[in-house]
């Protein structure tokens, strides 16, 4: 039987809707600590990534990760590469500014209501279907029903950031415990700490561009 998201993606191709080759999923469930700071770091890292990711889908997920709308962020390269290097640098800077501006606008207007229950497994399943995917989350799950394995998780990059109420004295233990949960469901996923945001985004951007 075809999985739900696989069917959705296939239908989008059939009916001509644009499908980005990569996706970004941001946890908006309300349980993440300092979400504005985390999101600002992710936005800056994506805008500064090399190579530039010019087209990707963004899902701001909350109560229902599988049905969260996908917003396509796409910027256009202006002309071919010039022989004049400062022209190329100017165009690149404009692309990066456009990406940052569009992400900031989306975060300012498209945020869903906080979730009453966090469903990590659903978010990771969607990420595995829409790879290469970058997932930014606190890694908490409140369903009490975590599957042992969803998919391989290859080409899924997960950034685990602290949740509200986490004990700072147990930061390492909390991170390792949540990382084990992610890897149990997606054994080949690459999991990063929040302090490794730039590294995680760079890995995702490199994979995203190589998959075109």
Q: What is the CATH number of the domain that holds 48?
A: 3.40.50
Residue 9 lies in a domain: no
Kindly state the DSSP code that residue 102 receives in the 8-state scheme. Answer: H
Residue 11 lies in a domain: no
User: Which pLDDT does position 172 carry in this prediction?
Assistant: 96
Residue 87 lies in a domain: yes
CA distance 119 to 12: 25
Positive/negative CA dihedral, 191, 184, 61, 160: negative
Residue range 65-69: mean pLDDT, rounded: 93
Burial class from Cβ neighbours inside 10 Å (0-12, 13-18, 19+) for residue 131 reads buried
| Structural domains in the chain (count) | 1
Calculated CA dihedral for residues 164, 44, 23, 154, nearest 10 degrees? -80
* Nearest to 208, CA basis, from 50, 59, 31: 50
Residue 3 lies in a domain: no
Residue 6 lies in a domain: no
Residue 108 lies in a domain: yes
Instruction: State pLDDT tens for residues 144-191.
Output: 878 878 888 889 999 999 999 999 999 999 999 999 999 999 999 999
Domain carrying residue 198 = 19-210
Instruction: State pLDDT tens for residues 38-66.
Output: 999 999 999 999 888 888 999 999 989 99
Residue 8 lies in a domain: no
Residue 7 lies in a domain: no
């Amino acid at each position: 039987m075809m999985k739900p998201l696989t069917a959705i993606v296939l239908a989008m191709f059939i009916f001509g809707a644009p499908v980005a080759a990569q996706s970004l999923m941001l946890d908006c469930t309300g349980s993440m600590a300092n979400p504005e700071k985390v999101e600002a770091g992710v936005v800056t890292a994506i805008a500064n990534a090399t190579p530039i990711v010019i087209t990707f889908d963004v899902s701001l997920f909350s109560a229902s990760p599988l049905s969260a709308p996908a917003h396509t962020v796409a910027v256009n390269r202006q002309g071919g590469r010039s022989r004049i290097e400062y022209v190329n640098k100017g165009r690149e800077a404009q692309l990066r500014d456009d990406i940052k501006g569009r992400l900031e606008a989306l975060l300012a207007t498209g945020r869903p209501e906080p979730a009453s229950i966090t469903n990590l497994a659903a978010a990771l399943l969607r990420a595995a279907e829409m790879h290469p995917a970058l997932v930014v989350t606190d890694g908490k799950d409140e369903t009490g029903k975590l599957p042992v394995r969803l998919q391989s998780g290859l080409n899924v990059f997960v950034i685990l950031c602290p949740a509200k109420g986490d004990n700072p004295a147990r930061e390492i233990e909390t991170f390792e415990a949540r990382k084990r949960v992610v890897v149990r469901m997606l054994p080949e996923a690459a999991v990063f700490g929040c302090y490794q945001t730039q590294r995680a985004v760079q890995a995702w951007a490199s994979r995203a561009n190589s998959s075109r």
